[in-house]
Structure formats: structure tokens, C-alpha cells
Amino acid sequence: MTQRYIVTSSHPDYDIVVTTEQRASGAWAVVANVVHATPTGLSTMPVPVPVSDFSTESDARESGVRAAQAWIGATRRRTPCRRTRQAPPVERA
């Protein structure tokens, strides 16, 4: 069984997409992605999750969210400018 979650980040312009999947063995796996909104579009980046198998779906989901939040925090510290979700106005002739 596969579940997908979209989690709003506490940082503007970033959302977290976490997908969990139950393996044949009964263990759960997780994949996390960060979606960053810029004035020109959306950028999706995969986030490494340290542990590959979890005993419950909620453990897998929470691990993916934590890894993505940490990735966003580290990325925002390295990026000095903040971007907004609004696209620039289009001038019409």
C-alpha cells in the first residue's frame, strides 16, 4: 500500500511531499521531496532519508517529514534571498 502526504512547511515557499509504501516484508519505506515555489515555477528536490525501513507507516512518514524540514532549514541558511510565491506581473501591450 502506498500513501502520499503533502505537508506545509513552516518556511514560506516550501512544501514537503512524503510518500510511504509498505513492502512485502511488512516494513515501511519512505521517500521525501521538497517543493520550492519561485517566481518562475516550482522546483522539486529529493531529500535523503537516513533509515530505509520502518516498523510503522507513521514512523516512516514522520522520519521523511523531519528529514525534509532539516533539509529546508540547512538550505535556507545557505540561501540569503527569500523568494515569494507570487509571479512577477506581466505587462501587456
34: closest CA among 76, 89, 86? 76
Highest mean pLDDT (candidates 37-41, 48-52, 66-70): 66-70
Candidates 91, 81, 90; CA nearest to 38 is 81
Mean pLDDT of 64-71: 95
**Apex 65 CA angle, 60 and 68, nearest 5:** 125
In whole angstroms, how large is the CA radius of gyration of the chain? 16
Q: What is the pTM of this model?
A: 0.77
Please say if the pLDDT value at position 81 is more than 80: no
**What pLDDT is attached to residue 38?**
87
pLDDT tens for each residue of 11-48 = 889 999 999 999 999 999 999 999 999 889 999 999 99
Q: Which amino acid is at 33?
A: N
> How many helices (H) and strands (E) would you count in the chain?
1, 4
C-alpha cell at 56: 510503522
Q: Chain-wide mean pLDDT for the chain? A: 85
Domains of the chain in sequence order:
2-78 (3.10.450)
